[in-house]
Structure 1
Amino acid sequence: MLALLIISLLIGLIILRTPVSFAIFGSAIVGLIFLEGPELAVATMETSPFAAVRSNSLSAVPLFVLMAQLMLMSGLLDSLFDAARSVIGRIPGGTAIASVGAGTAFAAVSGSSTAAAATLAQTSSTRMIREGYHKKTATGLVAVVGTLAAMIPPSIILVFYAITAEAPVGDVLIAGFFPGLLVALSLIVVMYLGFLRDRQSAPKGESYSWKQKATYIAQSSPLLLIFIAVIGSIFFGIATPTEAAALGVLAAVILVIARGKWNTKQIGQAILDTVKTTGMIFAIVMSAHVLGHFLTETRVTPTLVSAIGGSSLNPFVIMLLIAAVYVVLGFFMDQIAIIALTVPVTLPIVESLGYDPVWFGIFIVLLAETGMVTPPMGLNVFVVSKAVRINPIVVFRGSFPYVLAMLVIALAFLIWPELVLWVPAMGKQ
């Protein structure tokens, strides 16, 4: 009963817009005081926060965040979009496909959903609207494509999950690659299904000469080098995730200088934004560790595992119920908060049902991604809406079919977990 009251307090604080780390930490301390008195609360505060952030794996977080900031400075997304559009832009709906391709490629080196959505909106959404695409297609598609940065490595969200779940960071990162591509492909399929209903909504773009194509592709080629430096070194066991993140930062710095984008003021702002984001993530990690201590003392997780193990429900049905909870949480909370709050409770249940923790990370991140483009939070929707000056309702409506596609892909992962696990398994051979 105490655990239920504390979780209710936590949810209430989050609804009241209390910073997530404060809400988690405050609720946990109140719970510990009521459980065994202030002595336990003080002892926990003396040990748990430090224990939570002393993991070497956490050092990859600020490096990946800084790499994302530098990639945004480099202006590479514009080159990616131009390259994709030069290759397929002349076919009906080609500019929209180019947007998905550029967004997917940029996700592989940015790790930030909102940053990817904002940058992509300023390039591809504006271009699509000018070419005659429906505004809801031009904006809803871009908002959803931006969420791929949470799935395709190097993803800050996946690193956070791996640390929270005590799963191999490298395996979790690599596991997100193929699922991210499947999601991107599903977006293109859904988009073309919409075009079949209204062929006039798929304008034909312009043709490019082979020389222009070669130029645009050459300008975007550094992406491949950076991706190989980061993910290739992890996949082949050459570097740890932290070392790979450092390689990524070095490559991003070289790219910024090579493209003539180096600016001392912007570099300072990038470092400041990195410190702010890292501080927020670390605060949530420390707070979640304290909450985890409270849940351990109340034995909530073992009780739930035993209850579910003794129930007659099919494991597949239980996983559907867990998935529904994550979708609902995504309506109101950001991905990091969802992972910090739920994984300590849900992961033991999922493992008791026979599912892999690496698979579970990809599964819940995909479900939580839907919250980035669904009301009432829908952060990516508001970012795109502001960038192109369009009513958020239009963007929400445009993103709805693609959200359904993401949920279908999540169901496929639940039915066939090997869709997620085959890439990391191949890396171990």
Structure 2
Amino acid sequence: MIVVLITLLLLVLILLRVPVAFAIFVSGLLGLIAVDGVSGAFAVFEVIPVSASGKFSLSAIPLFILMAHFVLASGALNSLFVSARVLVGRVRGGTGIAAVLAGAGFASVSGSSTAAAATLAHTSTGEMVRQGYSKELATGSVASAGTLAAMIPPSILLIFYAITAETSVGQTLLAGLVPGLLMAIVLCIVVYVQALRGQAPAAKASSMGEKLRAVVGLLPVGILFLLVVGAVFFGITTATEAAAVGALGALGIMIVNRKASWQALRESFVGTVTSSVMIMAIIVAAHVFGHFLAETRVTPAVVDAVGAWDVPPALIMVGLVLVYLVLGFFMDQMAIIALTVPVTLPLVEALGYDPIWFGIVVILVAEIGLVTPPLGLNAFVTARASRIPLETVFLGAVPFIVGMLLVVVLVFVFPQLALFVPTLMGG
């Protein structure tokens, strides 16, 4: 009963827009006091902050965030969009496809979905509208393209999941590569189909010289991606070491592009510290809440109860995915992972499913939550950056949500789409 009451309290706090870390922490604290008393609860606090935030693998998070800020400050995302637009310009809906490809390119050197959506909205939405694209297609494609950063490595969400689920960070990161690229392809197809339906103007071809210059414009980000992901794939570095190399490489791009001013560096470091502290606070709070759940033994009780059902495991997994889909409409993606994975992962493993595959499915579903009401963070960011009404963005995202759901189904039915690359790594 106490678990139900504390969970309801947590949901109320989140719906009241209390910061996620504080909502989780307060709920966990009250739960521990109810179970162990005040002295027992505060004894837990003597250990949890250090044990939760002192893991070496966590250092990959601020380093990858720093890399993303450096790449943003370097102007590389603008170059990605311009280059992609030149290369696919002759395809109907080419500018929209270029926005998706730029989102995929930025995702390959960043883990920030909202940063990608905001920057793409500034650089591409206005251009698409000027070219004659419908506002729905222009904003829907940008908001959806931003979600690719949640899946294509290096993804902060994938690292967060790996740490929460205690899976290999390197293997979990690279498990997102094929599903992420598949998602990008599906989003490009959606843009093309919408263009054929009259939401985009006729295509415009570019000369061979322009295409060659466009390829050169893709090289900095492409090399940085290969450097980071290749180092992890071939076992040359850990994910944390690759993040450090990536941050240094992104700084190099800033310097080459003459964007490495003291102001840009200061903003990058401040943004990194702000985001990292928020994530660390969620991690510590989640450990407090997790300790409360452990004290109540709710996880083994759930596993035993579900194990007694005479229901095919696949049907139980479908139910879990639907629960995650609904949660994504109302909760922050990191909060969902922090609160649910300690409970659902033992059940998933007991049913015989791979924990890395499960993480990929969970985050694919979480991507949908970024463009769906009522929270839909990427939709809000896109609407604000493009100055287009929010309802237009949500409406434009509908065809892309259908495409995302298709990718979820494909990865659910064919787990090797997620496990192929980790298998090649030998894990």
Deviation at 1:190, TM superposition (A): 2.4
Q: Give the length in aligned residue pairs.
A: 427
Residue matched to 2:47: 47
Deviation at 1:216, TM superposition (A): 2.2
CA deviations 1:181-202 (Å, max 9, x no partner) are 1111111222333334x2x323
Residue matched to 1:388: 386
Q: What is the rounded CA distance, in whole Å, between the counterparts of 2:37 and 2:122 in structure 1?
A: 54
Aligned: 1:92 with 2:65: no
Q: Pick which of 365-374 and 91-100 moved more.
A: 91-100
Map 1:205-284 → 2, pairs under 5 A:
205-284=203-282
Letter in 1 for 2:66: L
Do 1:131 and 1:205's aligned partners in 2 also have CA atoms closer than 8 Å? Answer: no
Aligned: 1:173 with 2:173: yes
Please report the TM-score for the alignment, with normalisation by the length of structure 2: 0.98
Deviation at 1:204, TM superposition (A): 2.4
Deviation at 1:419, TM superposition (A): 1.1
Which of 401, 418, 421 is the aligned partner of 2:399? Answer: 401
Residue matched to 1:21: 21
Q: What is the rounded CA distance, in whole Å, between the counterparts of 1:37 and 1:119 in structure 2?
A: 49
Aligned: 1:141 with 2:141: yes
Residue matched to 2:412: 414
Residue matched to 1:56: 56
Letter in 2 for 1:307: A
Q: What is the rounded CA distance, in whole Å, between the counterparts of 1:18 and 1:28 in structure 2?
A: 14
- What is the CA RMSD across the aligned residues, in angstroms? 1.1
Q: What is the rounded CA distance, in whole Å, between the counterparts of 1:294 and 1:103 in structure 2?
A: 39
Q: What is the rounded CA distance, in whole Å, between the counterparts of 1:390 and 1:202 in structure 2?
A: 17
Residue matched to 2:188: 188
Letter in 1 for 2:332: D
Residue matched to 2:368: 370
Helix, strand or coil for the counterpart of 2:425? helix
Deviation at 1:14, TM superposition (A): 0.9
Q: What is the rounded CA distance, in whole Å, between the counterparts of 1:53 and 1:243 in structure 2?
A: 18
Letter in 2 for 1:332: F
Unaligned 5+ segments in structure 1 are none
Residue matched to 2:302: 304
Letter in 1 for 2:283: V
Q: What is the rounded CA distance, in whole Å, between the counterparts of 1:53 and 1:202 in structure 2?
A: 48
Aligned: 1:348 with 2:346: yes
Q: What is the rounded CA distance, in whole Å, between the counterparts of 2:190 and 2:124 in structure 1?
A: 18
* Shift >4 Å, 4+ stretches: none
Q: What is the rounded CA distance, in whole Å, between the counterparts of 2:389 and 2:301 in structure 1?
A: 47
Deviation at 1:91, TM superposition (A): 2.3
Percent identical pairs in the alignment equals 52
Please report the TM-score for the alignment, with normalisation by the length of structure 1: 0.97
Helix, strand or coil for the counterpart of 1:152? coil
Unaligned 5+ segments in structure 2 are none
Helix, strand or coil for the counterpart of 1:221? helix
Q: What is the rounded CA distance, in whole Å, between the counterparts of 1:207 and 1:191 in structure 2?
A: 18
Residue matched to 1:292: 290
Letter in 2 for 1:117: A
Deviation at 1:316, TM superposition (A): 1.3
Do 1:89 and 1:204's aligned partners in 2 also have CA atoms closer than 8 Å? Answer: no
Residue matched to 2:38: 38
Deviation at 1:78, TM superposition (A): 1.2
Aligned: 1:320 with 2:318: yes
Which of 420, 424, 427 is the aligned partner of 2:425? Answer: 427
Helix, strand or coil for the counterpart of 2:236? coil
